[in-house]
Amino acid sequence: MRRKLIAGNWKMNGLTADGLKLAESLAQRAQQAADYGDPKPPACDLLVCPPFTLLWPVRDAIVGGGIALGGQDCHAVQSGAHTGDVSAAMLRDLGCDFVILGHSERRQNHGEDDATVRAKAEAALDSGLTPIVCVGETEAERDAGETLAVIARQIERALPISALAQEETGLVIAYEPVWAIGTGRTATPDQVQEVHAALRRHLADLLGAGRADATRLLYGGSVKPENAQELMVLADVDGALVGGASLKTEDFWAIATACPL
């Protein structure tokens, strides 16, 4: 049984005061839910991925509250002459359990390809982080009927298969159609389930059926309280990677509580 994961990708948003306020209000709600059952505790794991500058204060705000911490990217090596970069070891040292890799904004704006994502995922695994590897087709690729081929190619090339096969390392995959990110357009439940089922079949070919069955597949792309429920009930959807709606406690909490028990 896969427990759902609702992950907030704060992207490049938040100065210290805003980030702290957001983290504290979320932690408070999670704590109340855990202690008193009111509000109702969500039937999912919660994760927040703030910008690097906020990892430390957010960690202190959420510590002990059952909310996990993640980075939004890491370098492929653990230390050295890489001005401006942050390594997986540094994220781990700060208390992160997860790192988002290969987000389409990194692929588009920083020229990251699947080989780069694979090297970063290897570094993440080496440091004990669970990589959240993002895949997704562009609108042109969907219109050309290439969605499933694109997704298959991305996971074949971006996943460090031998590192993943060696031991029981963590892995999360996020399907994020590029045309649905930050646009307000969401893939339909049928489109999402089709891709997730194909992803799981393909993962089984690459890593074995047991591993494919245990891997959480998140959907991302304009998830909000209004559409969360219809997406979270899908058989192969194991949670969500949430951008814009993760910046409001009410919305993020509503998405989390939309997960079926």
Give CA–CA dist 221/241, Å, rounded: 8
Q: How far is the CB of 64 from ligand PEP (least distance, A)?
A: 27
Residue 201 has which token pair? 């079949």
Q: Which of 224, 231, 228 is nearest to 246 (CA)?
A: 224
Q: How far is the CB of 134 from ligand PEP (least distance, A)?
A: 7
Environment class of residue 15 by beta-carbon count within 10 Å: exposed (0-12), middle (13-18) or buried (19+)? exposed
Number of residues that bind ligand PEP (CB under 6 A): 13
According to CB under 6 A, which residues from 168 to 227 bind ligand PEP?
176, 181-182, 220-223
Per-residue mark of binding to ligand PEP, 70-109 (x: CB under 6 A):
----------------------------------------
Three-state DSSP class for residue 2:
coil
Nearest 5°: the CA angle 126, 128, 129 is 105
Residue 181 has which token pair? 């990110």
- The nearer residue to ligand PEP, 187 or 207, going by C-beta atoms, is 187
- The nearer residue to ligand PEP, 47 or 241, going by C-beta atoms, is 241
Q: How far is the CB of 243 from ligand PEP (least distance, A)?
A: 2
Q: Which DSSP category does 248 fall into?
A: S
Q: Which residues bind ligand PEP (CB under 6 A)?
A: 9, 176, 181-182, 220-223, 241-245
Catalytically annotated residues: 103, 176
